[in-house]
């Protein structure tokens, strides 16, 4: 991956972006056990596969989602949180 | 000896393998199976056979011996860590390194060079002083030195680093060393092999049989073997192995890249590390400058190289050594680093009985090869964690008892 498409600013060099990690559901901090919370804080899905991730376009301050295969480094789709995914066209 | 060569060319008999046997087939059952024939896995096999009398052991390797991160690191050995647990552990490793060549009867090109961690800001001078005091308290030879000591050990350095990152001081660690990394895997492999351990290369583990919370066996590309003990020593493949036993861990994979120049006349004696400039560099026995930088910035399960890395690292090298502007880069490569949230390893027992982890070795595993082998062999043989690795257990995360080595484990974080 050398280029990444920001849903707002279009296709830009990957050096303009910051990786924000996999999108993960947060358990209710008031209701979950300490072990469940530790699992959320520390544990990750470390195996290769297609993952939905947070990415940040640092030049414009835009956080968005990307669907990426972390074994081949191929981005499948990018979209703004809360909006419908857009097929990746690069 | 041309006659000997000719004899073997004409005969169906071949000379003995120089370092290891190639066992024809897997047995049906072993006392222990070690996944991964890198330095760590082979060291564990060696100490299991030598110190614990366990020789019905198979080391399974999907590629070739030492072809993973053992052959991809930048070979630096040191023990100037930050936490008392870390310092004690790595210092034992440095001690083990020193007579390893004798143990193996094999030249490891172990060279004690002295190790400078450069400080370019007041904040890093403070961290270096902290590390020096922790080290001294635990009997490790470290001290805070001024820029003149750096200049004396390495007259070629530009102390102002291009004017924008002047060196204010350094943490000097006299025992800092380098070694020939391939030979470490070969030495441990041969030592284990001679004691009866089987090393099976090109044998991939495809599944681990767990019944009632206990390890029963291992499924491989060459058939099923039953065993009550499995040790995973697979560096960047750890999440795939823990996935086979249904274990969740904090390990995530980022590539770490490195590169070397063409061989040069010897000029750089010490090992130099700069956290601010994201550089570590030493000169190998054959004259190449061996250089590394910080991790690649996002998760990737691949060992591809990038031009960004060479450009960035070369620019920082020139800040320190402007005269290298004509040096040529000979090779670059990458390894997959299994990173942890506290930059300390994950070692020892797991909730699955008989499944042991030697993992989370991120960017700092080579120097620990001997002590990992020794402590993991103890753990696998007795079923109880060795004292030196108690604080590295996987269970520390659910207790929120992290072992914070981030400041001392690697550069640029």
Q: What is the DSSP string of A9-45?
A: TEEEEGGGEEEEEE--PPP-TTTS-HHHHHHHHH-B-
Average pLDDT over residues B148-162: 97
Q: Which alpha helices (H) appear in B180-306, and where do they start and end?
A: 181-194, 238-244
* CA atoms of A17 and A34, how far apart (whole Å): 34
Pick among B305, B344, B396, B398 to test the A interface (most A CBs inside 10 A): B398
CB-closest option in B248, B253, B298 to A39: B248
Average pLDDT over residues B389-402: 92
By the 10 Å C-beta count (0-12 exposed, 13-18 middle, 19+ buried), A83 is classed as exposed
Pick among B232, B241, B255, B301 to test the A interface (most A CBs inside 10 A): B301
Q: Which domains does chain B have, with CATH numbers?
A: 27-72+182-251+342-409 (3.50.50.60), 111-176+252-338 (3.30.9.10)
Instruction: Calculate how close chain A gets to B335, using CA atoms only, in Å.
Output: 14
Percent of chain B's residues with pLDDT above 90: 83
pLDDT of residue B397: 94
CB-closest option in B239, B298, B308 to A47: B239
Interface predicted TM-score (ipTM): 0.93
List, for residues B328-361, the tens digit of each pLDDT value. 999 999 999 999 999 999 999 999 999 999 999 9
Place of tokens 């102002």: B160
Scanning A53-72 for CB atoms below 8 A from B yields 53, 70-72
3-state SS of chain A: helix, strand, coil percent to 5?
Answer: 15, 45, 45
Architecture of domain A3-87: 2-Layer Sandwich (3.30)
Cβ distance of B301 and A70 shorter than 8 Å: yes
Cα separation values, B169 from A38, B77, B129, B141, B280, Å: 39, 21, 10, 17, 16
List, for residues B363-381, the tens digit of each pLDDT value. 999 999 999 999 999 999 9
The residues that bridge with A80 in the sheet, in sequence order, are none
Please count the other Cβ atoms lying within 10 Å of the Cβ belonging to residue B384: 11
Cα separation values, B241 from A46, A58, B42, B235, Å: 10, 35, 18, 10
Who wins on pLDDT, B413 or A7? A7
Whether A80 has its CB under 8 Å from any CB of chain B: the answer is no
Name the E strands within B146-251. Answer: 169-173, 177-178, 198-200, 205-211, 214-220, 223-226, 230-232
pLDDT of residue A1: 77
CB-closest option in A18, A46, A71 to B252: A46
List, for residues B230-251, the tens digit of each pLDDT value. 999 999 999 999 999 999 999 9
CB B371 within 8 A of CB B89: yes
Cβ distance of A39 and B299 shorter than 8 Å: no
List, for residues B201-232, the tens digit of each pLDDT value. 999 999 999 999 999 999 999 999 999 999 99
pLDDT of residue B413: 41
Average pLDDT over residues B263-277: 95
- Residue B338 has φ and ψ, to the nearest 5°, of -95, 100
């Amino acid at each position: 991956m050398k280029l990444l498409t920001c849903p707002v600013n279009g296709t830009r060099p990957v050096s303009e972006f910051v990786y924000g990690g996999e999108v993960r559901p947060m358990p209710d901090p008031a209701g979950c056990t300490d072990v469940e919370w530790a699992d959320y804080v520390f544990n990750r899905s470390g195996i290769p596969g297609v993952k939905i991730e947070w990415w940040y376009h640092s030049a414009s301050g835009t956080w968005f989602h990307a669907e990426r295969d972390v074994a081949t480094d191929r981005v499948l789709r990018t979209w703004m949180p809360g909006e419908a995914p857009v097929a990746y066209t690069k | 000896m041309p006659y000997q060569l000719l004899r073997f060319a004409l005969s169906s008999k071949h000379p003995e393998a120089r370092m290891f046997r190639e066992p024809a087939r897997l047995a049906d059952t072993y006392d222990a199976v070690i996944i991964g024939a890198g330095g760590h896995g082979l060291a564990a096999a060696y100490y299991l056979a030598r110190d614990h009398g366990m020789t019905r052991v198979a080391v399974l390797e999907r590629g070739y011996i030492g072809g993973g991160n053992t052959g991809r690191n930048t070979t630096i050995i040191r023990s100037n860590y930050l936490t008392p647990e870390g310092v004690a552990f790595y210092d034992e490793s440095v001690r083990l390194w020193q007579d390893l060549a004798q143990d193996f009867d094999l030249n490891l090109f172990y060279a004690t060079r002295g190790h400078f961690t450069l400080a370019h800001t007041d904040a890093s001078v403070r961290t270096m002083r902290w590390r020096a005091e922790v080290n001294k308290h635990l009997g490790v030879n470290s001290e805070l030195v001024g820029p003149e000591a750096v200049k004396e050990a390495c007259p070629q350095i530009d102390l102002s680093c291009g004017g924008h990152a002047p060196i204010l001081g350094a943490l000097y660690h006299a025992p800092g060393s380098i070694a020939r990394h391939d030979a470490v895997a070969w030495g441990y492999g041969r030592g284990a092999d001679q004691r009866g351990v089987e090393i099976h290369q090109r044998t991939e583990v495809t599944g681990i049989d767990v019944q009632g919370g206990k390890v029963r066996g291992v499924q491989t590309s060459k058939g099923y073997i039953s065993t009550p003990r499995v040790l995973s020593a697979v560096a960047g493949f750890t999440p795939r192995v823990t996935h086979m036993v249904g274990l969740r861990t904090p390990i995530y994979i980022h590539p770490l890249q490195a590169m070397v120049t063409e061989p040069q006349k010897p000029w750089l004696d010490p090992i130099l590390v700069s956290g601010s400039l994201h550089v570590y560099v030493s000169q190998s026995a054959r004259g190449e400058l061996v250089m590394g930088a910080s991790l690649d910035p996002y998760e990737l399960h691949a060992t591809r190289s990038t031009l960004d890395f060479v450009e960035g690292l070369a620019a920082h090298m020139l800040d320190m050594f402007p005269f290298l502007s004509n040096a040529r880069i000979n090779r670059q490569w990458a390894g997959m680093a299994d990173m942890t949230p506290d930059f300390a390893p994950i070692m020892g027992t797991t909730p699955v009985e008989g499944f042991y982890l030697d993992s989370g070795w991120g960017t700092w595993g080579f120097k620990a090869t001997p002590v990992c082998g020794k402590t993991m062999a103890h753990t696998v043989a007795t079923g109880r964690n060795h004292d030196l690795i108690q604080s590295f257990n996987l269970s520390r995360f659910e207790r929120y008892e992290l072992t914070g080595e981030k400041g001392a484990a690697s550069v640029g974080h």
